Amino acid sequence: MRDLINLQDYPLNQPGSPNWIALVNDCKAMLAKDGLFNLAGFVKADALPTAVAELKPILEAEAFTHARKHNIYFKKEIEELPADHPALTEFETSNRTICADQMGQAAVIQLYEWPPFAQFLAAVMDKSELFTMQDPLARVNVMGYREGQALNWHFDRSEFTTTLLLQASEAGGEFEYDQDLRSQDDPNYAGVSDLLEGRRSPTRIALEPGTLNIFKGKNTAHRVTPVKGDRDRIIAVFSYYERPGVQFSDQERIGFYGRAT
């Protein structure tokens, strides 16, 4: 990993060391305050071109175009809301996705399977252990966003999301979020409506390529704004779970990737 990861600033290879503990504590503090943290320059600048180049041909030739209309909940209906409630406003999401089984031993796969990476994430998230997915498609996904494509407003199903920005678009493709818009006890449909109708001002950040982002998106609404320009936005998504052997159903795979195997 020394050729890929900036281990001088982010000593993931030294679990338990004073520098590792300090990094974990800093990340925990940022998560508690902001609901996310970014490790800029996590991937070395001179390693990025190769990491991107080994994925681009696959994105061009083999990607599944995932396009769908959805509301912020990814549900057809919410029992306590009328169908025309503004919190159920539909938007369009579109990107091109490649799966772990298409990437061979690309750098993002090597990082995903590197045990110190999962150990670091578990420590930051206060988990006893995190496991890689058994699902051959979903364990690592790489998404490409062309001109006009976007990931629209939604809440995540999982508690944490782990992403690595590999290539930024020329413009657009910015990350927006409204922290803790809802809670386990309060769905805050009025606040959701205000966000979707432009009466709230979400936080917007533009990430630099090579940035690792850890995000608590289960109750924080978020999106990626439409990409502008000729350069694609390319991002890797890593999926870990607190139990081993997790797989998606065939129906979920077909919905996300257009195929079950």
Phi, psi dihedral angles at 91 (to 5 degrees): -130, 170
Please list, in sequence order, all residues whose beta carbon lies within 8 angstroms of the beta carbon of residue 189, skipping any fewer than 6 positions away. Answer: 81, 85, 87
pLDDT tens per residue, the chain (261 residues)?
A: 999 999 999 999 999 999 999 999 999 999 999 999 999 999 999 999 999 999 999 999 999 998 999 999 999 999 999 999 999 999 999 999 999 999 999 999 999 999 999 999 999 999 999 999 999 999 999 999 999 999 999 999 888 999 999 999 999 999 999 999 999 999 999 999 999 999 999 999 999 999 999 999 999 999 999 999 999 999 999 999 999 999 999 999 998 899 999
Instruction: Yes or no: say if 112 and 132 are a contact pair by the CB < 8 Å rule.
Output: yes
CB 247 within 8 A of CB 133: yes
Could you give the dihedral angle defined by the CA atoms of residues 241, 242, 244 and 245, in that order, rounded to the nearest 10 degrees? -40
Fold topology of 18-257 = Jelly Rolls (2.60.120)
Taking the domains of the chain in order of start, what are their residue ranges? 18-257
Q: How far apart are CA 248 and CA 261, in angstroms?
A: 11
